[in-house]
Amino acid sequence: MDRVELRRVFQMFDRNRDGMITKEELSASLENLCIFISDEEVTQIFESIDVNGDGFVDVDEFGILYETIVNEQNEEEDMMEAFNVFDQNKDGFITFEELRSVLLSLGLKQGRAIEDCKKMITKVDADGDGRVNFMEFKQMMKGGGFAAFRSSQ
């Protein structure tokens, strides 16, 4: 983690520049970032990062939250890259034809039969439109990845 960047972001939240973030400062800073969450959620977040329980978040405690956010962003970028491998025409959806093409190019037997690819798409197609969008792809990946595709065959 880049310590200089962490301190810069911390200072954006530490509105009175006393080296500590209060729950109120956290709430106000989130609102300034157009992140509107309930007081209860702010309290939950605050208590989870206030490791020593002193009612303040110092730069080291804030680093835990910051690292979590950065890791989630990296994970999102990685998933988008994986999604883009399958979304060959870049229309924002994976069709059974695109799935089959990628599986065949990888030499996987699951790509041989078009019916198998249709079944795989149907398993993760939450909105029933016959294709997989990025949100459905993310859910599938978090639920076991490609194993979810193959489990019913």
Mapping DSSP to helix (H, G, I), strand (E, B) and coil, where does residue 55 land? coil
Query: CB 131: neighbour CB atoms within 10 A?
Result: 19
Question: Cβ distance 22 to 56 under 8 Å?
Answer: yes
Contacts by residues 134-141 (CB-CB < 8 Å, ≥ 24 positions apart) = 134/79, 134/80, 134/83, 134/92, 137/79, 137/82, 137/83, 137/86, 137/94, 138/79, 141/79, 141/82
Tokens 């605050």 correspond to: 46
Q: What is the pLDDT of residue 152?
A: 43
What residues does 57 pair with on adjacent strands? 21
pTM above 0.85, yes or no: no
What tens digit of pLDDT does each residue of 7-31 get? 998 999 999 999 999 999 999 988 8
What tens digit of pLDDT does each residue of 65-105 get? 788 777 777 788 888 999 999 999 999 999 999 998 988 88
Split at pLDDT 50, 70, 90, the class of 151 is very low
- CA separation for the pair 88, 22 (Å, rounded): 47
What residues does 132 pair with on adjacent strands? 94
